[in-house]
Structure 1
């Protein structure tokens, strides 16, 4: 299905003059953090996205259904940017597992710098963060799974009054469920 863009975006794409910035928003236990693929900070949705050229992102594959296409984020040590191995290790003090990561592209007008369109590439959940050493030095490798996998997970819950009250004590949605009657319907033949 083709993506519908605003008229100005279509014009600039046809001219080959579109300016695009990639945004990553982390919703961690201690707060929300944003990074932009640029050299200067960028303001979007009430959050300041800091330059994040030091974060590399694997390909984000668009896919239908419940298939899994993980994304890998890598953050290598960069003493010039204050990212020493000791600083990178502080991620383990953070509540990150299962937290959302949003990937977006912001389409900007090259003449005015104004925001024309935001394309959401996907919402992922942080699974694991591995600490490795390679030719770049100390590296954090985060594996993120698409949030669409939530639709295929089994949660083991039952639709009963008692189970619903475990979730919220005042919720009485299933209170009369056990009293609901059952009726057997015979289709295509006579009842014995």
Structure 2
């Protein structure tokens, strides 16, 4: 159960809260970063800033209310920020993701809670020569590793391929992907971008 401070919950209800994320990779050395522009300390831990230019996206699936693997994508990373995520041994390192809730000014931390936990499975990196880089981290949650005796099932159809008479999963809903954006600007749908462009052209022609 995720506990959220009353002040943070009230800000979320009003719709004026600013939500930012943080991640800790407990490797050697420990890496701690968050999506803000300055170092921040909470829960006895200090996190280094990723900055406003970095786009952070977290996506995870949910099966019957249990989180599956989590994919964390950090794009627009400057070279100096890469060193914060270049731990000597990251494979299998315990990983924790936090959700930080700020007031509308973005300067007062109203509350925080753990958004997900697991172990770092893979850490892929793409770099542009003389430019920024993108890191994609896959975190395997405890739910993902439960019952790995056979194939991994995600739907009623998948399960029936193994046992045609087993209809358990027809009662379980699967949320294919849940996304949380930390910092940067969330991608817009093509339709909304086109509509904004048309409105801008119309205003210019008036």
Shorter-chain TM-score tier:
0.5 to 0.7
Give matches, 1:74-153, under 5 Å: 74=74, 78-79=78-79, 82=80, 91=86, 94-110=88-104, 113-132=107-126, 139-153=134-148
> Partner of 2:39 in structure 1?
41
Give matches, 1:19-30, under 5 Å: 19-28=18-27, 30=28
Change in Cα spacing, 1:76 to 1:107, as seen in structure 2 (3 Å) is: closer
Per the TM alignment, residue 145 of structure 1 is displaced from its structure 2 partner at its CA by 1.8
Pair 1:13 & 2:9 matched: no
Change in Cα spacing, 1:138 to 1:43, as seen in structure 2 (3 Å) is: closer
Point out where structure 2 has 5 or more consecutive residues left out of the alignment: 150-206
> Partner of 2:192 in structure 1?
none
SS of residue in 2 equivalent to 1:96: coil
Pair 1:70 & 2:55 matched: no
Most deviating of 96-105 and 106-115: 106-115
C-alpha RMSD of matched pairs (Å): 3.7
- The answer as to whether partners of 1:130 and 1:142 remain within 8 angstroms in 2 is yes
Per the TM alignment, residue 55 of structure 1 is displaced from its structure 2 partner at its CA by 6.2
Deviations 1:108-129 (A, max 9, x none): 3457955433221111221122
Q: Greater share of strand residues, 1 or 2?
A: 2
Higher Rg of the two aligned structures: 1
Structure 1 distance, partners of 2:91, 2:113, is 25
TM-score (norm 2): 0.54
How many residues align structurally?
Answer: 146
Change in Cα spacing, 1:132 to 1:23, as seen in structure 2 (3 Å) is: closer
- The answer as to whether partners of 2:69 and 2:138 remain within 8 angstroms in 1 is no
Change in Cα spacing, 1:55 to 1:148, as seen in structure 2 (3 Å) is: farther
Which has the higher relative contact order, 1 or 2, with Cα contacts under 8 A spaced 6 or more apart? 2
Structure 2 distance, partners of 1:131, 1:39, is 22
